[in-house]
Amino acid sequence: MKKLILGLFLILGAVSFTMPNFINKKYIKDAGYTIDKDENNIFSFVMSDQESALTIAFFKTDLDPKALSEGVKNGFSNKIQFLTELENSKAYINEYKADKFYMYIIVPKNQKVKNYSVLATYHYVNRLTKSTVDRSVNFILEEIDSSIK
């Protein structure tokens, strides 16, 4: 029993040190997000409801935002159909269609954490208009900024 408890504390201790030090853990928890991945090279958190899901991921890379957006565009299976590439002054957005939802991959043009890139994946049951995409991107970029210390 003592070994089991010691093992749990060691695992929890290792996990707590894996989270990048620039992450605002209190904001993530208070905003209702769930931590999805907490590994050496990637940290992500997610929130979802019946109609939508938002995942924000920070990962170690030296790619510039445009190259990252292009790299993501080519990384999906044929079950997800690429629709269009959108761009505004703040982000690159790739739009996809799957069987039961639309997916928007958002890569901010201004990456704020050195040696890390951030991207967000937003799933929604219906296709969004351009103006709705722009409003959603603004909200998501605010969420990203709030999750950084």
Q: For 6-28, how does the pLDDT look when each residue is reduced to its tens digit (9 = 90+)?
A: 343 444 444 444 678 899 999 99
Residue 128 has pLDDT above 60, yes or no: yes
Question: Where does residue 22 rank: exposed (0-12), middle (13-18), buried (19+ CB within 10 A)?
Answer: middle
pLDDT tens for each residue of 28-44: 999 999 999 998 889 99
* pLDDT at residue 19, as a whole number: 72
**What is the mean predicted confidence (pLDDT) over 48-56?**
95
User: What confidence score (pLDDT) does residue 18 get?
Assistant: 62
Q: Which residue has the higher pLDDT, 74 or 128?
A: 128
Q: Tell me the CA distances in angstroms from 51 to 34, 44, 89, 139, one per residue in order.
A: 17, 20, 27, 17
